């Protein structure tokens, strides 16, 4: 089993320490048939966010990546925990990660094919409550990893490794993949 820990370090020096990244340097692969089928586990959503709004933002974040030509097929709600390598792709919330991590994508892949990708977002980060836009960007960023994308060196990208980009402000964070994000995604799937 391959476990890939990906974390988002955001460009917010005032909000905490930059986080060391342990993400993938090379893409582990792509989804067969360009289709990511995922379930949502609503448990442990942020207390400041009602359940319906939390689900809406997760669905919206997934939808943004369809501009890459990948189908993001929402399967419904599940009680399966995100991060358990149980054969289904679960997106949800979890406190079961190091405190400095905002979100994590874990998965399995073989021979350039993704087999499973689970996304867990940490619901208790106070900067998410202060800057909901940051939460929405983190969710979108993790969906990018779920599609096989690695980090971008460009600071304005959704897929940026933001620890290298100290000047961005939460109010300016992108709410959709940039042209460069989509180009990187298209290139990944075009090469398939």
CB of 8 to Zn ion, least distance (A): 5
| 8: contact with Zn ion by CB under 5 A | yes
Q: Segment 159-188, which members bind Zn ion (CB under 5 A)?
A: none
How many residues comprise the chain? Answer: 192
Nearest partner of 72 among 57, 61, 84, judged by Cα: 61
Total binding residues toward Zn ion, as defined by CB under 5 A: 3
Whole-angstrom Cα distance, residue 80 to residue 88? 9
Residue 7 CB, nearest approach to Zn ion (Å): 6
Residue among 116 and 142 whose Cβ is closer to Zn ion: 142
The SS3 assignment for 147 reads coil
Least distance (Å) between residue 47 CB and Zn ion: 25
Of residues 6 and 168, the one with the C-beta less far from Zn ion: 6
Give the interface segment with Zn ion, choosing from 23-31, 51-59, 80-88, 121-129 (CB under 5 A): 23-31
- To which residue do tokens 């990187």 refer? 184
Residue whose CB is less far from Zn ion, 90 or 146? 146
Task: Supply the minimum distance, in Å, between the C-beta of residue 175 and Zn ion.
Answer: 17
Report the distance separating Cα 143 and Cα 137, nearest Å.
Answer: 10
Within 13 A of 105's CA, how many CA atoms are on the CB side? 30
- Our CB check for Zn ion shows the closer of 23 and 42 to be 23
CB atoms within 10 A of CB 156: 16
CA–CA distance, 71 with 48 (Å, rounded to integer): 30
Choice from 1, 2, 6, 15 touching Zn ion (CB under 5 A): 6
Binding site for Zn ion (CB under 5 A): 6, 8, 23
């Amino acid at each position: 089993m391959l476990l890939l820990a990906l974390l988002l370090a955001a460009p917010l020096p005032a909000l905490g320490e930059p986080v060391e990244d342990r993400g993938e340097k090379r893409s582990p692969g792509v989804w067969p048939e360009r289709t990511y089928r995922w379930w949502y586990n609503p448990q442990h959503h942020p207390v400041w966010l009602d359940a319906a709004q939390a689900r809406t933002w997760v669905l919206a974040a997934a939808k943004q990546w369809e501009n890459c030509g990948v189908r993001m097929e929402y399967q419904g709600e599940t009680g399966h925990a995100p991060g358990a390598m149980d054969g289904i792709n679960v997106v949800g919330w979890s406190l079961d990660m190091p405190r400095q991590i905002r979100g994590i994508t874990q998965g399995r892949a073989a021979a350039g094919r993704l087999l499973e990708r689970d996304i867990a977002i940490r619901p208790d980060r106070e900067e998410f409550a202060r800057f909901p836009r940051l939460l929405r960007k983190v969710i979108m960023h993790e969906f990018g990893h779920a599609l096989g994308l690695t980090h971008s060196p460009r600071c304005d990208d959704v897929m940026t490794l933001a620890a290298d980009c100290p000047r961005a402000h939460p109010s300016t964070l992108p709410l959709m993949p940039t042209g460069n994000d989509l180009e990187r995604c298209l290139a990944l799937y075009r090469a398939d």
